[in-house]
Structure 1
């Protein structure tokens, strides 16, 4: 979101986004968007959409049935390499390839579902404008659909520690029991409107992804990455750093999990070090000098 703001603030008003991914008008052209002096990123991922796509369980067969599962893509089936925690799973390269492709396809299906729900509501509103007084049309025009996105905690790297090895602990941000976190009520994007799905959670439709926004950032940027993070892995951190092509970026890798706490008891934490880095960066960086 911070990079998205920097991108939009730097644009001429008439070049800013005029509609959300769902088609709703937004008046960014008339908004006062002062440019930021600098940007600090701590444990930053590539955007809510890409983060969620990597965690989506692609074995879901029916979005209305959280238990409908394609066994060939089930990440928690021993036949596909899963081991009961706390043992690390071992997924084969072929399975990983099919899994990642199926995750992207699930995002496409969810995008289509969101747009279909919005189209139904828009059609009912058009009917009302044409003079319909039917109760069913009034109800559909007032309807506010909500999407339940089940099984969003299934990033293979959380359960197979041999994938992108790091000092991270077994498990995801939601814990070390993948069955509980994947089917439970708490998780990324678990309950959202079609508009919020398209604007925030869809890797395909969201405007607020680092791939789309970071190359436009021209402010000095400080990036801090925790080495034991189990939601931002080496590939994401390296990709993120590389996306800032119009500015100078200062990167620091420090110990700790996603929140800067010790990965395990007795290990070092990184929160205080991160604070010191930000303090020093703020005191020594020349702001307002534009792109480098």
Structure 2
């Protein structure tokens, strides 16, 4: 992947305190990937998705964009399924300027998907939709009705018998959003690890007439990497003013617009997003 040349903060200085959650709006999961992006492909549902996807990201790290054949080979799935992934991803992307969104059908494989968006898209494939409360007699029909899966949707969660007898209700939009935010909140730290940059700094100092070399490993998040997290989250919702993560974030400020934004400490960005998710979840309960 292309390396972005930016100035970096000094790891030996105390990091700025984590800003408070955005006071003007609540964070929401983007509905598009959760409502339209889940695919009925069992091989995409990973028991432990983040380590699997980190390994996949490393495997594909030499590719800025990923074609259907490359994805099919990496995931050991059919080329038809790989193409379905790219087509579906194009329909739920958060940026209309992405080349995949603009690509004609015969251009999709030559354009490919941005690796970071692809990784996030694969990440949510392991999300299991919120199911309605089942009828008290669910156990009685469980042995004759197939179990539900992550992509079955609402109606398939109930057998015909349950649909007739039960008083269960379809989860509301607020129920679904809270469920999605909880899913994201549980794994934000691991999700961030898909975008961190690891920076090694070697510093030599003289101590008691001996030179000692100190190495400190620390993590930062670039503005470009942060913007891709907008695939999952945004401020505001349909029917109100929608603000992207990069617009709402108090990070990456630079007094010189001609200079690239300075990467922010990953822990600081992570804590800010986690606080915003926690604040949003409080409104649902």
TM-score, scaled relative to structure 1 = 0.28
TM-score, scaled relative to structure 2 = 0.28
Q: Relative CO higher for 1 or 2, CA cutoff 8 Å, sep ≥ 6?
A: 2
